[in-house]
Amino acid sequence: MAAKRSYADGCAAAHALDLIGDRWALLVVRELLLGPKRFTDLRTGLPGAAPNVVAQRLRELEAAGVVQRRTLPPPAASKVYELTDWGLELETVVRSLGKWGARSPRMQHDAPLSVDSLALALRALFSPGRAGELAATVVLRLDGDEFRARVEDGRFHLERGRLHEERGVVGTSADATITADGNALNEIIWSGRDLDEAVRDGLVRIDGDTAVVRRFLDLFPLPEPAPVPS
């Protein structure tokens, strides 16, 4: 196997690209930002990447100290990949890069994207100004994955995992649940697809307060497009 190429440049940004600049590397990081995954789950989020390429990137990221492997306790006992604490710091990089890319005049906002990419886009594009005084919890069930989103005091929190109302903790019950095809929800939020139409077509199901859902889906505006050179 050929040695991994380097920029051989003393700039820290160049060194960072030595670590995460290869094709698919940063997207592997993206897929792990919301929690550990098995190799098969990673592949689901990266359908365009060949399995051997994903495996190679994981080995390189592990060698760089960005990713680590561990075995889940029984009964699962599955081997998973997860970001190290240092690797998790890349979320700010992924968010900023995503917001920058969203301004591209060539960006196709209705193109397919992974569930984790959609969830991270919600984190990146949340608008405190649009949220105002809204306080609500919305559960997102997207293509078999589940996320809990909370809007309160102009802040937004989203995490993977089921909502456990039996804990008896104030604020854990959901105001609404959105069960949807991830790509359809992407089109509703950022490409102007009609929510009612998507519900009629069976691509979206809403349980709970529909008004909260409509308000929630309006909290993630796209940034202003970059000017097109004349």
82 phi, psi to nearest 5 deg: -150, 160
Quick check: 4 pLDDT over 80?
no
Quick check: 110 pLDDT over 50?
yes
pLDDT at 163: 46
The CATH architecture assigned to 12-94 reads: Orthogonal Bundle (1.10)
Task: Please write the tens of the pLDDT for every residue from 89-104.
Answer: 999 999 999 999 999 9
Least Cα distance to 209 among 179, 180, 174, 176 occurs for 176
Mean pLDDT value across residues 57-71? 96
CATH of span 109-216: 3.30.1050.10
Mean pLDDT value across residues 195-215? 96
Q: How confident is the model at residue 1 (pLDDT cuts 50, 70, 90)?
A: very low
For a pLDDT cut of 90, what percent of the chain falls above it? 81
Q: How confident is the model at residue 171 (pLDDT cuts 50, 70, 90)?
A: very low
Least Cα distance to 82 among 28, 130, 43 occurs for 28
∠95-157-48 over CA atoms, to 5°? 45
Work out the burial of residue 8: count CB atoms within 10 Å of its CB; fewer than 13 is exposed, 13-18 middle, 19 or more buried: exposed
pLDDT at 158: 96
- What are the extents of the domains in the chain? 12-94, 109-216
The whole-chain average pLDDT of the chain stands at: 91
Quick check: 2 pLDDT over 60?
no
Task: Please write the tens of the pLDDT for every residue from 126-142.
Answer: 999 999 999 999 999 99
pLDDT at 168: 37
